[in-house]
Structure 1
Amino acid sequence: MMDHILLEKYADLIVKTGVNIQQGQTLVIFSPIECAPFARTIAEVAYQTGARDVVISWKDELFSKIRFLQAPEEVFEEFPEWQKAFYTSYVKEGAAFISIAASDPELLKDVNPDRVAKVQKTSNIALKEYRERLMSNKNTWCVVSIPTQSWAKKVFPHLSEDEAIKALWEAIFKTVRVEEEDPVAAWDQHKKNLKVSAEFLNNHQFKFLRYKNSLGTELEIELPADHIWLGGSEYTTEGIEFIANMPTEEVFTLPKKTGANGIVVSSMPLNYNGNLIENFSLTFKKGKVVEFTAEKGYEVLKKLIETDEGSAYLGEVALVPYDSPISNAKILYFNTLFDENASCHLAIGKAYPICIKDGKNMSKEELDQLGVNDSLTHVDFMIGTHDLEIIGVTSAGKEIPVFKNGNFAF
């Protein structure tokens, strides 16, 4: 583990600013077993801050691989009722949720992608209510990360294991501003900076965004009326402020489901459920993926796109300057939590209802009518480059530069 003082500051930031734990609230932590010491530190801080109780759900990714390789096929289409009850009972109770995302990027490269796809789909169906509550900001939630041995060696392959872990700790501490004298104050300023970008975009209410770069991206995305750009912190339906991702450098909104046309090319590998998808492209027509390519992970990408009807459509549009702290570090994390905050990105699958006016209070049918995509999945992939240009087109047809040479043009 790294410096004890920095770890305490990180845990303090996650509990008090990330999920903003309330007096008497329950905190649920999802953690790999390798991250147990830090999960316990978070738990201690939560109790000291006023949490009624803390519950930790452990994940053993090495056992997961054993199960994928050796269990009979039928188990991958089953989801235990007790496990579903765990999620739904705590989310209905109003618990806060912290997820520690730290996995081996290539853990499941030797596993049949059909099995991984079945597990993902089965769990997403079973946990639909839980996921919808979080994506509608009914509960506070925060995704964070700390190094694990396998992940650190993937990021820093030329260093020894100890050196790689140390280097990853240092990189993470920098991205989440824990090294600042007052991390909370640093985050307050960061949130204000992101709100400025979101305000510019909200004021213009662009009807279209047009993307172009030298990788071959040439894509037009239509945005629905009354869409909302968010960034930095968010608020629950009860008005509690929280930060869903630490780190975060993005401002984001939702696209109109049928509004994407053209081709988009990935700028970074995508770590999806223990498999890497590399150098891939997606071609859209009337919002739907009609063609795709991948130099590595084609079958995994195919299974992802074919998860359900909505997984072939976009659910998120996010803007991140190329000249931003995580991008400037020139570290490829193979972890979407970090890589998506170094690059403009899109997501296929479910859209966030909070990104459209009054969306959090609308029924599924009402959201459908407004062009808000629904799916069992939501997967971000990175498309930002040093030469990315984005033009915003207003409803009156006026063209305004949004990105030039990879950065905001305003």
Structure 2
Amino acid sequence: MTDPRFAKLAKVLVEYSTRLKRGEKVLVELFDVPDEFSVELIRAVRAAGAIPIIETRHSRLMRELIRESTPHHAALVRDLELFRIKKMDAYIAVRGAFNANENADVPSERMAMYTRTLRPVLNHRINHTRWVVLRWPTASMAQAANMSTEAFEDFYFQVCTMDYGRMAKAMQPLVRRMKTADRVQIKSPGTDLTFSIKGIGAKGCEGRLNIPDGEVFSCPVKNSVNGVIQFNTPTIYSGKRFENVRLEFKQGKIVNATGSDTKRLNEILDTDAGARYVGEFALGFNPYILNPMCDILFDEKIAGSLHFTPGQAYEIADNGNRSAVHWDMVLIQRPEWGGGEIWFDGELIRKDGLFVPNDLQGLNPENLK
């Protein structure tokens, strides 16, 4: 018997997140996902009258392909995948991973080459399709969250099928404020950072692009970032786990970067010229996500968090920075994580993870659950 939560989640992805219409073409990429859910997703797409194109992938096979990839191979993959995504109206990716560190031993220069070469595919998908990306719950994710498999699955389906329409309404005042703000200051233990977001714009994320969701993002003016930020959550990039990442900025550029693996951290930041500049600044507020689990689709939505992102900027909130890297790093500012403050143009916006102005208090956890 198929878990009834599978059909509920598939309906959210098709009817709410991507809003599929009759005759539209959708690429569905499935990474290590059970057939039972894949079937429910195909049925939901067809029930909407849309046309499913299915791609199944496996993380161990992807590792092997990338590990010995060449520029010629990567370019061939790019050309084929770019041709296909240009035929699509929408994109749904469900990404399972039995081992979150599967790519840890892929040489960093090989991963950088492959990622850089395939960047046009990602750019087209982000900017020219309606898309949504989510993880699939696995035992490794439950371990990362320090939960039993059953408890994590219950948590996963609760957060992935919450009332995102209600959240969408609550975040509009924050979107308006970020669209009109200029100077931003972030203060936390080990962090004192200033930058401008003037004229960049802002985007609310309410379950249309990611599931789970719950953030509003903008982007610093490229050369405006100055100061230091000390992240207090672990992060995984290209299969490698990093902790205690500290970035120091001068006129927008990361001039010093340290962490649990400083050498590999700087190798990634040297992927290209844009990797040492920032492409996103966002505030997270999902009331059900409280602690990091080294899965960025969850961690960047943690209640009372922010993330700051070396690398590529999104065109919808663009400072012009271009890079093969887009690395969301998360700082939690709730009291049990050390607290902190966020200021817009001299006004205190959030203190110790809770929004202060009256028009933003609808985003505090007690008002979103």
Indicate the TM-score class for this superposition, using the shorter chain for normalisation.
0.7 to 0.9
The reply to whether residue 212 of structure 1 matches residue 210 of structure 2 is: no
Corresponding residue for residue 408 of structure 1: 355
- TM normalised by structure 2 equals 0.87
- Is the 8 Å Cα contact of residues 350 and 378 (structure 1) preserved in structure 2? yes
Tell me the CA shift for residue 313 of structure 1: 0.4
- Is the 8 Å Cα contact of residues 195 and 232 (structure 1) preserved in structure 2? no
Tell me the CA shift for residue 135 of structure 1: 3.5
Residues 373 and 194 of structure 1, relative CA distance in 2, 3 Å threshold: same
- Which of the residues 49, 54, 57 maps onto 1:56? 54
Tell me the CA shift for residue 39 of structure 1: 2.5
- Which of the residues 201, 220, 231 maps onto 2:204? 231
Corresponding residue for residue 5 of structure 1: 4
Q: How many residues of Structure 1 are paired with residues of Structure 2 in the alignment? A: 350
- Which of the residues 244, 248, 254 maps onto 1:283? 248
Corresponding residue for residue 366 of structure 2: none
Over the residues paired in the alignment, what is the CA RMSD in angstroms?
2.3
| Mapping 1:79-118, distance limit 5 Å | 79-80=73-74, 83-103=77-97, 104-109=99-104, 111=105, 115-118=107-110
Mapped to 2, the partners of 1:200 and 1:61 lie a distance apart of: 40
Corresponding residue for residue 320 of structure 2: 372
Mapped to 1, the partners of 2:266 and 2:350 lie a distance apart of: 31
Percent of paired sites with the same residue: 22
Corresponding residue for residue 274 of structure 1: 239
Which residue type is aligned with residue 134 of structure 1?
Answer: R
Which residue type is aligned with residue 249 of structure 1?
Answer: G
User: Aligned with 1:350: secondary structure?
Assistant: coil
- Is the 8 Å Cα contact of residues 74 and 114 (structure 2) preserved in structure 1? no
Corresponding residue for residue 363 of structure 2: none
Tell me the CA shift for residue 7 of structure 1: 1.2
The reply to whether residue 169 of structure 1 matches residue 153 of structure 2 is: yes
Corresponding residue for residue 299 of structure 1: 263
Residues 289 and 89 of structure 1, relative CA distance in 2, 3 Å threshold: same
- TM normalised by structure 1 equals 0.79
- Is the 8 Å Cα contact of residues 115 and 324 (structure 2) preserved in structure 1? no
Corresponding residue for residue 360 of structure 2: none
| Mapping 1:4-403, distance limit 5 Å | 4-52=3-51, 54-66=52-64, 75-80=69-74, 83-103=77-97, 104-109=99-104, 111=105, 115-128=107-120, 130-136=121-127, 138-156=128-146, 164-178=148-162, 186-202=163-179, 205-214=180-189, 216-224=190-198, 226-233=199-206, 243-295=208-260, 297-321=261-285, 324-328=286-290, 331-342=291-302, 343-355=305-317, 371-386=319-334, 387-393=339-345, 399-403=346-350
User: Aligned with 2:211: secondary structure?
Assistant: coil
Mapped to 2, the partners of 1:127 and 1:210 lie a distance apart of: 31
Mapped to 2, the partners of 1:332 and 1:383 lie a distance apart of: 10
**Which runs of 5 or more structure 1 residues have no equivalent in the other structure?**
179-185, 234-241, 357-370, 394-398
User: Aligned with 1:144: secondary structure?
Assistant: strand
